[in-house]
Structure 1
Amino acid sequence: MSTTPHRHQAPPANKGLLALAVVLLAIPIIALMFVGTYAKDEPRVAGFPFFIWYQFVWVVLCSALTYSAYRIVLKARPHVPMNPEGDEFLDDDTRPDSRQDGIR
């Protein structure tokens, strides 16, 4: 009997979805690089200068874009389940959610 652990190949990642996640993460970086476009006082919102509230809006947008990218990466890179001890991958036929007919 071989002592080499049984290794599974990870399922192929969806490169299109990963590229979309990169674009979503790059949007706030690129938008905030051009400080000259938002380094101004007017228009004011609730007494705050444009520079302040514009960056605050990007905090919310960046959070939404980061979460979206995270969900897309989870979809693009399928998970291969492991046993409860975490020392080996479960085969397709030993997964608790697998069916004999092959439909999931």
Structure 2
Amino acid sequence: MLESFIKEWLLQKKSRVYSIIVDTYPDELKSLKPALFRSWLAKEIDVPEEKINLNSLASALSRLRKKEQKKSLNKNAKSISKETVFKNEDFQFSTLDSNDTRASRIKDM
């Protein structure tokens, strides 16, 4: 069903069609790379290979990689920030009952 829409949109040169292609076939595009993927997609949806723009496929693939990289960086940053925020520091507050002898910092003149 989606293949027929993609075929129609490619032939009509609709905008965002390459983003939809990447969202639909991400694994195939990553493994085959844009040039081979173009041949495979042309056979898959029965469209002439010339109707599929190779540069647009490559751009869509780079956008996908950037999106995935950004997502993984955000996950790493969140886990690191959670670890540092909740780190327990062993600071001991003094109490009135404590027998701490502290040197006076005030000197008589």
- Bin for the TM-score computed over the shorter chain: 0.3 to 0.5
Q: Which has the higher contact order (CA 8 A, sep 6+)?
A: 1
Using the size of structure 1 for normalisation, the TM-score is 0.36
Using the size of structure 2 for normalisation, the TM-score is 0.35
